[in-house]
Amino acid sequence: MLLLIDVVVETVLSKIRERLNEGCRKSNDGHSKQTMGKTQANGAVGGQLEDESDIEQKYAKFFQINTDGLVKRNDGWRTRSDMINRDKELTQLIYAEDATMVRCQPLGSRNKHNGFRLPKYDVPKAVINALYEDKKPETAYPYISKPLDPQIYDHKFHYLLYFEEAAMYLSMRNFDLDRRRLNKCGDFMSLEIPREVLTRSALIKGNRVLLTHPTKRPIVSFEGFIHKIEQNYILMRFHEKFHEMYDGTEYNVSFHFGRTNFRQCHYAIDQVFSHACYELLFPSEKRNLSSKEKYLWKGNAKKMKYFNIDLNRTQKNAVIGVLRSSQRPSPYIIVGPPATGKTTTVVESILQIVVKLRKSRILVCTNSNILADEIALKLLESRIIYEDKLTRLVSVNYARNVNENLKSVSVIFTDDPHDNDWFYRKVIVTTCNNAGNLYCMLKNSMHFTHCIIDDSTKTSEPEALVAIGLVAAACGVVVLTGDPSQIRPNCESPISRYNGLSDPLMLRLMQYTPYLTSEKFKKFGGYNPYYITKLDVAYDGEK
């Protein structure tokens, strides 16, 4: 978002300069103001041309133009060119031949005895050059603006993620702090940070911190990690020698987000493609897989007994569709506007799967921890699933905020082989990002039989694939729910956003024939009930 704001500001500036030059030329003919076209959708300035003083006053809260033509932001942010220069300087310093970096043990390090390691997926230099030098993204990847198809799918999404990561990395230079002193605080080093920086930067526990001396060369940088965040300061831990030797020296401080989520997205893309699940990503009406597997239900829908007696007709249709999933591996979609009971339908579907398909294991993912808590609570309140059948997998950052009634089933991820009973419970509820940790636990590709992503329209396609990749090897059942009218996932990079990274998987799938409306299915609201159910009746669970 920060880069987008900066791009818009600089776009406005360039247009203002053009109009000013045009106005100056025409003022010789006696015109002080020229009429301009109406405001364009891309942010161009409309109305009448104003003189320079009017423009500076009108846009003073965003930026100012110095006499030498340089741009300066007035809203507390650095300009894009400032961030690029800072990043280049920082990179040159810490990676110079005579530079030294004193590293620190990362927070939540992996078990060394676990053989699984995510590939690095480092951002290519071509992407960084395209971003920093304002080159066309096609210079990094020629097919980035082409429509998705099976031939370019994996490469295109890899590069969209690369551009997004590079843009996010660059935006972090907004929060660099110069010449700051640290304070010893027990086993930690504390750093006072302006509250507005903490609010804007979205720093979280586990983020990487890099200290570099402002003047000493060759550079010796110290790597640390954030362990706690308070209202106006953070607690960090560096190498123990740094804690012993620190004498109040001032350092430049830079913050860096963890790359794990990006690496998990890349890995999930490769997982899905390695198992050739093209019907999952590009569904058609032909069915290639047998529907006789043990985790598909063959019962009589008319004799179905529902645990929630308040379900309406469309919700019941959706539950039947999830149980049957006869068009697997094509995802089953439950779509509906707010207040139509999508999450209630998901909970009922989970309960029915657990009871009717005894050998199933279900991974339930959401975009938010709040929704994940809601689903887990409803499952426990049902008295169908008990604590020994449910895991609420949480991140270390959310552990203190988890609902009190879920403490007994909540687990912070660990890949310790002697503490993994939670992994073998019937239902695991977590967020899409946190689900990526489960890859290192998979010893059996058939472990999960179902993957249900609730509110999936708030999740980007690669993030959804992080969860889906865990059932891809078994070509298991995938269920997506959401509201197409919701705001789409945010992207830092305009390149990634305009080329499809902010488009949810569910919305893209709904453009394919099996999910389109047809007169043949008028009885089901126009949708093929083997692929999709639309919830169109307001649900009142309190009646």
Confidence bin at 278 (pLDDT 50/70/90): confident
CATH number for the domain whose boundaries are 80-258: 2.40.30.170
Confidence of residue 34 (pLDDT cuts 50, 70, 90): very low
Q: Please state the rounded mean pLDDT for residues 394-418.
A: 86
In the numeric block, the tokens 């809203």 are attached to 75
Question: In 3D, which of 452, 428, 505 has the Cα closest to residue 321?
Answer: 452
Cis peptide before 218 (omega within 30 of 0): yes
Let me know: does 351 contact 385? Beta carbons within 8 Å: yes
Burial 256-277 (b: 16+ CB within 10 A, else e): ebebebbbbbbbbbebbbebeb
3-state class (DSSP) for residue 193: coil
- What is the average pLDDT across 340-363? 94
d(CA 437, CA 110): 10
DSSP state of 478: E
Q: How many CB atoms lie within 10 A of CB 133?
A: 9
- Is there a contact between 354 and 362 (Cβ–Cβ < 8 Å)? yes
Beta-bridge partners for 48: 35
Q: What mean pLDDT, rounded, does the chain reach? A: 83
Residue carrying structure tokens 């979609």: 333
Q: Which amino acid is at 190?
A: S
pLDDT band at residue 174 using 50, 70 and 90 as cut-offs: confident
**The predicted structure's pLDDT at residue 541:** 58
Structure tokens at 532: 């999709």
Partner residues linked to 482 by β-bridges: 335
> What does the pLDDT read at residue 79?
83
pLDDT over 70 at 282, yes or no: yes
C-alpha distances (whole Å) from 279 to each of 229, 282, 437 are: 45, 5, 26
The per-residue pLDDT for 525 is 86
Pairing of strands 100-102, 220-229: parallel
Per-residue pLDDT tens over the stretch 473-515: 667 899 999 999 888 898 999 999 999 999 999 999 999 999 9
Model pLDDT for residues 37-61, shown as the tens digit of each residue: 333 333 333 344 444 445 444 444 4
For 66-116, the pLDDT digits (tens) are 444 444 454 556 788 888 889 888 988 888 888 999 998 887 655 555 667
Domain parsing of the chain, residue ranges: 2-77, 80-258, 270-282+301-534
Q: How many residues in total does the chain contain?
A: 543
Closest CA to 322 of 517, 510, 531: 531
- DSSP state letter for 63: E
CA distance from start to end of the chain:
42
Mean pLDDT of 316-342: 92
CA angle 59, 63, 64 (to 5 degrees): 90
Do residues 53 and 47 touch, judged by C-beta distance below 8 A?
Answer: no
At 466 the pLDDT is 95
- Choice among 31-40, 273-282, 507-516 with the minimum mean pLDDT: 31-40
Taking the C-alpha atoms of residue 189 and residue 225, their distance in angstroms, rounded to an integer, is: 10
Highest mean pLDDT among 18-22, 29-33, 67-71, 408-412: 408-412
Band the pLDDT of 444: cuts 50, 70, 90.
Answer: low
Residue 19 in this model has a pLDDT that exceeds 70: no
Question: E-strand spans in 16-104?
Answer: 63-65, 71-73, 100-102
- The torsion angles phi and psi of 419, rounded to 5 degrees, stand at -140, 60
The predicted structure's pLDDT at residue 298: 67
DSSP-assigned beta bridge partners for residue 64: 72
In whole angstroms, give the CA distance from residue 259 to residue 257: 6
pLDDT-derived band at 31, boundaries 50, 70, 90: very low
What fold, for 270-282+301-534? Answer: Rossmann fold (3.40.50)
Cα dist. 267→118, 169, 205, 262, 423 in Å?
7, 20, 24, 9, 20
Cα separations (Å) of 4 from 82, 88, 184, 486? 15, 20, 38, 21
Q: Helix, strand or coil for residue 228?
A: strand
Task: State both tokens at 244.
Answer: 């012993």
State how far the Cα of 422 lies from the Cα of 392, in Å rounded to an integer. 9
Instruction: Report which listed range, 66-70, 156-160, 295-299, is most confident.
Output: 156-160
Percent of the chain beyond pLDDT 70? 79
Tens of pLDDT, residues 115-135: 678 999 999 999 999 988 888
Nearest 5°: CA angle at 339, between 338 and 345? 105
Q: Please say whether the beta carbons of 96 and 219 come within 8 A.
A: yes
Structure confidence at residue 494 (pLDDT): 93
Helix runs in 431-521, H state only: 432-435, 461-472, 494-498, 505-509
Q: What's the pTM?
A: 0.83
Structure tokens at 381: 């309140």
Distance between CA atoms of residues 337 and 161, nearest Å: 29
Tell me what the mean pLDDT of segment 366-395 comes to: 95
